[in-house]
Chain A
Amino acid sequence: MRIEVKNLRHVYSPGTDSAVEALRDVSLSVEGGEILGVVGGTGSGKSTLVVHMNLLLEPTSGEVLIDGMDARAMKKSELRRRVGLVFQFPESALFAPTVEEDVAFGPCRLGLDEEEVRRRVSETLGMLGISHLASRSPHALSGGEKRRVAIAGVLAMGPEAIVLDEPTAGLDPATREELLDVVRGLKNAGMSVVIVSHDLDEIAEVADRVCLMERGEAKAVGAPEDVFYEHPENAPDTVRAALAVGERLPGVGRPVRFAETVEVLERVMGG
């Protein structure tokens, strides 16, 4: 599925003295089988941008296109099923007595029969590696486990695109790696993925394209190497290391991922 936002502008509490222009003329797109990473400082408008993707927040002006169709013309329920949205700290919205029931909430709302709901729940729990938690209370889990339950709750609805707002914030490195593997799996299954993160290293590892937000504007959108090498102040350590070495030694090129960077540096320094 292709999600495209065009000239998006959003003003919170317009017309009052506390009006905030959180988004200004943002245009970008994400295709099926692609991961778009959204980075930028606190308050730069990342969350505001991504909640527009299934119109949970309506733009002040501009438009959101789903496979070329104006999202506003689509049925709300249909739109929310097709574009799954996982909020920042999604675990704060867990409510059911058991993990299973919580994950089943979304699929039940789609009017699927009980058999299908159960199948989807066990499938997504398996995908996120939390099948063993199915009958536990979601409130008595660790932070990382809760996070995965909340993500499962959205994936169980069978979306064609998934938008994740800081899914790895506050998780330990191992859990984060596991979650990123899940995200790569979704991409390989053909889903469009949007992932917001403060962790540039993580975005460097997973993203196919990057959007850098600054004060409500998309300062740069494009391939990771283009965005990061144009804006080294917002680049991961790999890019900074490559830049520092590249100043003295030729042939470093523009590596972004960790493995790539190690390989390049070994070549130019060792050879």
Chain B
Amino acid sequence: MGRGIGQFYPGMSPLHALDPRAKILASVGLVAALFLVGSFHGFLLVAVVVLSLLIVSRVPAAAFLRFLKPVSFIVALTFLFQALFSREGNILFEWGWLSVYEGGVSNGAFLAARILLLVLSAALLTATTPPVALTDGIEDLLSPLKKLRFPSHEVAMMMTIALRFIPTLDEEAQKIMRAQAARGAEFSEGGLIKRVKAIIPILVPLTVGAFCRADELADAMESRGYRGGEGRTRYRELKFRLRDGVALLFVVLVAVGGAVL
């Protein structure tokens, strides 16, 4: 099955039980908090909250590590840039033309930790919310915009379909890669131009296949009576309960606390 983005881990934790709208808003709140905090203590507060939520979610740690893997390169780069080129505070050590300052290292660590926590907050949301619930929640949150003729149902439907097809596309890409490898294609050899050229035999059939699939899906949806969001009854109804309100309030308090501290 599809690895990486949008991976849902079925579970029974309190986080799984929350209304998707509450979780979406809470994630936005956490992300805002991470941007707002300036002080070390404020940051510590938000960090402790995010890390505790990871434990509460009962999603295996390995799953979160997998979420972090794609961003680890950016995090490392951010840290290195800050550490090597920032000239704040005392000099930690010098080595030839290279001098590393205390401020640089602490700034770098701070920024890196901030990115990691951002990704973890998003991961918390997608790991504890089934993709369909996620898009239902987004549709609902966007629905006030309908008055401004914003196609919130269509946008949500597009997201549902896109999420559904990520694993399919991934599988398809693997198949095509193997088929081309059987014809002598090499994907990991040669210089940049050679590698880009090697992608064409994968990308073309993948795109052609995706368009065919999109056509078929559209036909199938239409023949089963899909006509957009107008007057459509929901199969799943969302319910905002007391615990959702409490969860939201908690996150707001954390965000305010982080900003003030």
Contact = CB atoms under 8 A, between A and B. Distances in A.
A54 interface: yes
Interface in A144-185: 153-154, 157
B250 to A, nearest CB: 32
Nearest to A110: B184
Contacts of B201: 93, 95-96, 105
B182 A87 contact: yes
A84 interface: yes
A80 to B, nearest CB: 6
Interface in B141-181: 172, 175-176, 178-181
Given A92-B176, A92-B205, A106 B183 contact: yes
Nearest to B189: A77
B208 A139 contact: yes
B185 A54 contact: no
B204 interface: yes
A56 B185 CA distance: 12
Given A92-B175, A94-B205, A105-B201, A18 B1 contact: yes
B184 A87 contact: no
A139 B206 CA distance: 12
A154 B208 CA distance: 21
B209 interface: yes
Contacts of B183: 80, 105-106, 109, 153-154, 157
B182 A80 contact: yes
B172 A81 contact: no
A195 to B, nearest CB: 16
A221 B179 CA distance: 27
Nearest to A81: B184
Contacts, number: 59
Highest count of chain A CB atoms <10 Å: which of B184, B186, B201? B184
A51 interface: yes
B184 A77 contact: yes
Contacts of A153: 183
A56 B182 contact: yes
Highest count of chain B CB atoms <10 Å: which of A77, A87, A92? A92
Interface in B2-60: none
A234 to B, nearest CB: 27
B200 interface: yes
Contacts of A85: 182
Contacts of B182: 54, 56, 80, 84-87, 154
Nearest to A13: B1
Contacts of B185: 105, 109
A93 B184 contact: no
Contacts of A56: 178, 181-182
A95 B164 CA distance: 25
Contacts of B204: 95-96
A24 B176 CA distance: 26
A29 B209 CA distance: 35
B209 A87 contact: no
Contacts of B179: 87, 90, 92-93
Contacts of A90: 179
Interface in A59-91: 77, 80-81, 84-87, 90
Contacts of A86: 182
B175 A87 contact: yes
26 contacts: A77-B184, A77-B186, A80-B182, A80-B183, A80-B184, A85-B182, A86-B182, A87-B182, A92-B176, A92-B179, A92-B209, A93-B175, A93-B179, A93-B201, A93-B205, A94-B205, A95-B201, A95-B208, A96-B204, A105-B201, A109-B184, A139-B208, A153-B183, A154-B182, A157-B183, A157-B184
Interface of B: 1, 172, 175-176, 178-186, 200-202, 204-205, 208-209
Given A92-B176, A95-B204, A105-B201, 17 more contacts: A54-B182, A80-B181, A81-B184, A85-B182, A86-B182, A87-B175, A92-B172, A93-B175, A93-B201, A94-B205, A95-B208, A96-B204, A105-B185, A106-B183, A109-B185, A110-B184, A153-B183
Interface of A: 18, 51, 54, 56, 77, 80-81, 84-87, 90, 92-96, 105-106, 109-110, 139, 153-154, 157
